[in-house]
Amino acid sequence: MSIGRIAPRRLADSIVEELENMILEGTLQPGERLPAERNLAERFGVSRPSLREAVQRMATKGLLVSRQGGGHYVAESLGSSFTDPLITLLEGRPDAQRDLLEYRRTLEADCAYYAALRATAVDKAHLKTAYENLQACYASDGKSDLDQEGSADARFHLAIAEASHNVILLHTIRGLFSLLETNVVTNIGGMYAREKKTRSELMEQHRRLFEAIIEGRADDARYFAGQHIQYAQHVLSEQHESDRRMERSLRRTTPGVAAETDRPAKEH
């Protein structure tokens, strides 16, 4: 039997592995700047030439980019499942909004389940901050900006994904973040337009979900996360049907509108 020699591992290989792990686990996020070379070399306990070699390798892989003015950054496009043009395309389509809610129901229920099982003390502190920021928006009695409230809601759900310690779930949620943020804002506007009690119901749903994760009740966390999305689906579906009924009523009471609306467009 032929036995080959084991090649010694280069220090740069270990640095690359460590940086890649930091990206996967979310310690380094898309668009984030790496610490200064000297600080990073000291933190890793390696030489600066070895660090430069590792950074160059990661740049070749497309994981890091250099920007004018100095510094290396995690590629912003890393893990992006949805490009900006696609986000714009999906925003105004009710069917796409419905599909995203269905997707979120499955995805976030799993995130909540694993977060309840695996969240560390640091994760729980981060989740608590996100939860309190969201509750502060709700406590403003409608005076908070919907964009701000949508962002706080999305960040709360992102904090749950981070606490799940599942890198696939985390990067799927993170890749959806822009779309999720837009979807949350749209949903909030639609739900508040229907009934005032929606705000208190959302507050209660988030409270139950938060407490289940903090207390490690995994099955409850999964249930509450799914129930939360299902509630949004129900309210928005009713709102959509109500809008359609109103449109039909208005067409019937406006002379000529119904006939013009129902007439096929002419070909040119």
Q: pLDDT category, 265, cuts 50, 70, 90?
A: very low
Cα 37 to the center of its chain, rounded Å: 30
Do 60 and 151 lie in one domain? The reply is no
For all residues of the chain together, what is the average pLDDT? 79
pLDDT exceeds 50 at position 31: yes
- So what's the pLDDT on residue 218? 98
68 plus 88 within the same structural domain: no
Confidence (pLDDT) at 256 = 55
- One-letter amino acid at 131 equals Y
- Measured CA distances, 75 to 12, 86, 193, 220, 242 (Å): 20, 19, 39, 37, 44
DSSP code string of 67-85:
-TTS-EEE-TTTT--S-HH
| Same-domain check for residues 89 and 70 | no
Residue 262 counted as domain residue = no
Same structural domain, 43 and 120: no
Distance CA 95, CA 30 (A): 29
- Residue 261 resides in a domain: no
| DSSP H or E stretch at residue 108 | helix 94-118
- Has residue 218 been placed in a domain? yes
Domain harbouring 37, CATH code: 1.10.10.10
> Would you state the structure tokens that stand for residue 18, as one six-digit string?
């460590």
Residue-wise pLDDT for 153-165, tens only, equals 888 999 999 999 9
| Residue at 177 is within a domain | yes
Look up the CATH number of the domain holding residue 129.
1.20.120.530
Structure tokens of 113?
Answer: 């389940």
Range of the domain at 153: 84-251
Task: For residue 258, tell me if it sits in a domain.
Answer: no
Q: For residues 103 and 224, state if they share a domain.
A: yes
Q: Are residues 96 and 208 in the same domain?
A: yes
At 100 the pLDDT is: 76
Token code pair at residue 139: 């406590």
Q: How many Å apart are CA 205 and CA 18, to the nearest integer?
A: 38
Is the pLDDT at 194 greater than 60, yes or no? no
47 with 156, same domain?
no
What percent of the chain is modeled with pLDDT above 90?
A: 34
One domain, residues 66 and 88: no
Query: Do the domain assignments include residue 226?
Result: yes
| pLDDT band of 172, cuts 50, 70, 90 | confident
- Does 108 share its domain with 61? no
| Residue 259 pLDDT > 50 | no
**Same domain assignment for residues 65 and 195:** no
Q: What are phi and psi of 95, to 5 degrees?
A: -65, -40
CA-nearest of 94, 66, 164, 80 to 123 is: 164
Higher confidence at residue 140 or residue 206?
A: 206
Over its C-alpha atoms, the chain yields an Rg (Å, rounded) of 24
- Range in 28-42, 50-64, 161-175, 236-250 the model is least confident about: 236-250
Question: Is residue 264 domain-resident?
Answer: no
Residue 22 vs residue 85, higher pLDDT: 22
Confidence at 137, pLDDT banded by 50, 70, 90: confident
What is the mean pLDDT of the segment spanning 250-263?
Answer: 57
3-30: average pLDDT: 79
Residues 26 and 145 in one domain: no
d(CA 221, CA 119): 12
DSSP state of 255: T
Burial class (CB in 10 A: 0-12, 13-18, 19+), 158: buried
Query: Same structural domain for residues 93 and 133?
Result: yes
In a domain, 259, yes or no: no
Flag the least confident range among 61-65, 68-72, 165-169: 68-72
- Please tell me the predicted confidence (pLDDT) of residue 129: 97
Give me the number of domains the chain comprises. 2
Average pLDDT over residues 213-234: 92
Kind and range of the H or E run holding 103 = helix 94-118
Cα separation, 162 vs 170, in Å, equals 6
Over the range 198-231, which residues count as b (16 or more CB within 10 Å of their CB) and which as e? bbeebeebbebbbebbbeebbebbbbbbbebbee
C-alpha–C-alpha distance, residues 266 and 176, integer Å: 39
- Residues ≥6 apart with Cβ < 8 Å to 139: none
- What average pLDDT does range 260-264 have in this prediction? 48
* pLDDT reported for residue 141: 61
